[in-house]
Amino acid sequence: MIKDVFTVIEIIQKVKAVALNENEKKIVVKLILSFDKSNFFEPSNAVQYAFNNNKSKLKKIHYFQEYLSKHADAISEALSESNDTVLIEKLKGFKKINIESQQKLEMLNISPYDLKRYANSELPKFKKVIDYYRTVMCYAVISLIETIEVDDRKVSKTGFLKIIKDFENKDIDYNYVQ
């Protein structure tokens, strides 16, 4: 499945310098800014969404679910506003990443043993889903910015690039995806 997601990234990167009209570029900028304004893609974001308190409650899970929902809405809005077939294909890749991450979250099997074992810490399975989404979506955003040639003054790549760099410096095992 991880190969499928990176295939989506390849589709997003496939066409370099897509010739979009100004309206289509505005759609892309609006989408990226909606991702950027949520602090979810802020590298310094220290919220532990996968934190399991001492009562075995995942009290912060709803924050991640809200981000997935907001991002899905922003992607759907961009899809509905776009008329360019190449851009629509790229945006469908974003939608696929979001849907797959929502499915991974829903299918996450957390046993009572896991909840006890990881009391007062982050659940590794849940943390992997979050890291996976953040990283793959950052790759997708950066490739979209580069293929569409979005003005750097309108959209900052810094946070997205930092998350990618952090990912490349970690040894993350995504075998749970299979």
What confidence tens digit (pLDDT) does each residue in 94-108 have?
999 999 999 999 998
Measured distance CA(138)–CA(123) in Å, rounded:
22
Tokens of 172: 């993350």
**Tens of pLDDT along 40-85?**
888 887 788 888 888 778 888 889 999 999 999 999 999 999 998 8
Tokens of 125: 């399975």
Q: Which residues pair with 120 in a beta bridge?
A: none
Q: Is residue 178 pLDDT above 60, yes or no?
A: no
Tokens of 115: 């909840």
Q: Specify the number of domains making up the chain.
A: 1
Tokens of 86: 């190449």
Integer CA distances (angstroms), 79 to 30, 91, 94, 117, in order = 12, 6, 10, 43
Element spanning 80, H or E: helix 61-81
Which residue range forms the structural domain that includes residue 154?
A: 2-177
- Running DSSP on this structure, what letter comes out for residue 170? S
